[in-house]
Each structure stands twice: as structure tokens, then as C-alpha cells.
Amino acid sequence: MAKAGESITIHGKTLKNRLTMAPTVKFDYAGADGKVTDLHIQHYAERAKGGVGLICVEATAVTPGGRFGENHMGLWEDAQIEGHKAITQACHDENVVALIQLNHTGITANPLCGEAIGPSAVKIRDGGMSREMSLQEIHAMQDAFVSAAVRAKEAGYDGVQLHGCHSYLINQFLALKTNLRTDEYGGSPENRARFASEIIARIREVCGKDFLISVRTAGADPDLDGAIRVAEEYVKAGCDYLQVSSGIGPIDPSIVPEGASYNDVCALGVYFHEHFRGRVPVSCVNGLLTPEAVNDLLEKDLTDTVDLGRAVLADPDFPKAVLDPAASYVKCFACPRCQYGPGMPKKCPALMKRMQK
């Protein structure tokens, strides 16, 4: 059975352990130019030194219009490559595999940055309507994702992750609530997966057979079975690694076994792991704030890797406590709204406690 400290090789990239850093957004560290700052570099260097085997750098915009805000990091132009080299170097110095998550916000676009566009015209949060993308616009957006992946490779990343969950553009193509199309990009799970599948195939073509391609996919859009059918299309297209999280659709609470040490989002990953066992590695995420919870998933062979979010924001050394029961760590306080998150005053109580030690 997998243990947290065992290495795992994913598409030729060897992770020194089964602990990975989830793509937790720090977009308020960037400026309007979308370039990496010293704050980004320090942030990821600290987590690399903390002991994870892989870091997935936060959601990074593939076009200026697809940003969360005017201070969101990007890879939409070559001038942004140089700063990313410092992040990959900080990871590689600690023998940590480095991926970067590529994203476009779609219908949830910040109006200060771009138009709310997506697979279909649907009602959006301000009461207005999004605009349906034409086939030409869909292909141009795919070009933007592929170009960003090429820049990521030049910056030294070992691979990329497509952000296919949490209600952003790729997820919007998956969800029946936001994809009402009747052409080749709508309808069946295979058609709704096509937008991302074509991106995956093209990244493989231009970035080469050794480049790792991951998708952070929604585990329940429109339901668990439908989400797995979508993921099958990703795997056929060349996806090497599935990191499962929540999406637009609701999660059936009955998927969590009685007495389980994990929540419903983690349960999606557990189901994906069983389905893809022996074919594609799967990662679980969400609410894993103690070494006991992490080790329980791995020791029971319920997942291949575990994504850590708030736990490594609260204390970059959290992985050391997972790997060594004698090691101490500062536990995340599970604030209702993460005080380490973007736009927050950076008053994370765990971080402040750690700094006082």
C-alpha cells in the first residue's frame, strides 16, 4: 500500500513523496502586468523547502481578459516567462516537481479585465448574461491555452495543469447548467469534454511526449458518472494525472462512506482513483488538515497522491509532520474564509502563531 513517504513516478517525473501542494491562488501578489513578483517566489520557495513532492503553482491566466482581477499572475505573453523561471528553480533546488495551473475565468470574468464569455449565454452573478463563444473564439481560446503551456515549458515547468473545476471556463463546458450548446462542444459528455481534450492533444503535440499534462477536473458535473466519462476523454487525449475537486454541480453526500475520515470532495477523488486504478494517477483534495487524515487516505490505498492547500499555507512544514510523527506543526484554524487567501489582510492565525514560535 502507498505510504506518504514513498516516491511515485508520474509520466516520467518522480515525486519524492505522495504529498503535493494544491494550486492555492495568491493572485493579489502580482501587478497589472501579470508578472511574477518576489512575493510569489518566496511563497513557493518556502513550500518547496517544507517537504512536498510536487507543487502546482496557482491558477494563471492565459489571456488578460480571463483574470480574476487586475493583479492576477499570467502567462499570456513571453515577457512573463522570466519570472516563472525563478519559481521553477526554487522548486527544483529542493527536488520538487513543478507544474503550473492554466486558467480562464469564462463567464465569471472580472468586468475590470474582460467580457463574460463562455460556452453559452446564461445568467451571471451581476444579473446580466454571458455571451456565447463562436467556434472561432473557442479555437482562439484553445490557442491561448496551448501558447501558455509552451511558455510554461520554456520557464522550466515539468508540466501544466488545466483548471477544469471550480466553475471556471473548462468547467463551464462540462456543466449542463452553463453549456447549452448543440454543436460538437455541447450535449454528450464526450462533446462537453472536447474543448479541453483538444487542448490536451495539442499541448502534447507541441510540448513533447515528456511534458506532464494534468487536469484538475470537476468530480460531479453533472454527476459522478458523467464526470468520470469526461475524464475518460481527457485520458484518451493524453492527460497523465487527474486531480479531482468540486465543480458547478452538487455532490451527492451519500458517496461518503459511514465513518470515513474524509469529506465529500475527497470522496470524489477516491471514486476516481478506484475507476482509473493502474491507468492514471489520481489525487484527492479538500479539508485534509491533519497528518492522520492524510495518512489514512494513503495507507488505505484510496488515492495515489494527496493535494494540500490550507495545511501548507498555515505551515509550510506540515509535510514533515505527515512523514514523521515526532515532528510538530501549526494546524490550520479552518477559518470560514481563509485569512491567507487573496484579497485578505494576511492575518492567518496559524501563520501568526508560527511566526511567534
Please give the residue range of the domain that contains residue 199. 8-356
Closest CA to 86 of 46, 52, 36: 36
**Residue 2: inside a domain, yes or no?**
no
> How far apart are alpha carbons 149 and 127 in whole angstroms?
34
Q: Count up the domains in the chain and report the number.
A: 1
User: Contact, 75 vs 81, CB < 8 A?
Assistant: yes
Nearest to 62 by CA among 171, 140, 173, 174: 140
Is 156 a member of any domain?
Answer: yes
| Count of CA atoms in the C-beta half-sphere (13 A) of 120 | 19
Q: What are the pLDDT tens digits along the chain (357 aa)?
A: 459 999 999 999 999 999 999 999 876 788 899 999 999 999 999 999 999 999 999 999 999 999 999 999 999 999 999 999 999 999 999 999 999 999 999 999 999 999 999 999 999 988 899 999 999 999 999 999 999 999 999 999 999 999 999 999 999 999 999 999 999 999 999 999 999 999 999 999 999 999 999 999 999 999 999 999 999 999 999 999 999 999 999 999 999 999 999 999 999 999 999 999 999 999 999 999 999 999 999 999 999 999 999 999 999 999 999 999 999 999 999 988 888 877 777 788 988 888 776
Q: Are 19 and 318 in contact (CB under 8 A)?
A: no
Alpha-carbon separation of residue 179 from 149, 163, 167, 191, 230 (angstroms): 25, 17, 12, 10, 14
CATH classification of the domain holding 236:
3.20.20.70
d(CA 196, CA 175): 13
The answer as to whether 1 is a domain residue is: no
CA distance 95 to 97: 7
Residue bearing cell 451527492: 252
Q: What does the CA dihedral 129, 27, 159, 48 come to, rounded to 10 degrees?
A: -150
CA pair distance 324, 124, nearest whole angstrom: 47
CA pair distance 17, 283, nearest whole angstrom: 13
Contact 203, 146 (CB under 8 A): yes
Q: Is residue 12 in a domain?
A: yes
Positive/negative CA dihedral, 183, 234, 287, 110: negative
> What's the CA gap between 22 and 279, in Å, rounded?
22
User: Strand 97-103 vs strand 13-15: parallel, antiparallel, or unpaired?
Assistant: unpaired
Tell me whether residue 1 is exposed, middle or buried, using C-beta atoms within 10 angstroms of its C-beta: 0 to 12, 13 to 18, 19 or more. exposed
- Write out pLDDT tens, residues 188-236: 999 999 999 999 999 999 999 999 999 999 999 999 999 999 999 999 9
Instruction: Kindly state whether residue 322 falls inside one of the protein's structural domains.
Output: yes
- Digit-coded pLDDT (tens) for 43-64: 999 999 999 999 999 999 999 9
Question: Is residue 3 one of the residues assigned to a domain?
Answer: no
Partner residues linked to 54 by β-bridges: 20, 97
Task: Say which residue the cell 499572475 belongs to.
Answer: 73
Nearest to 328 by CA among 276, 293, 290: 290
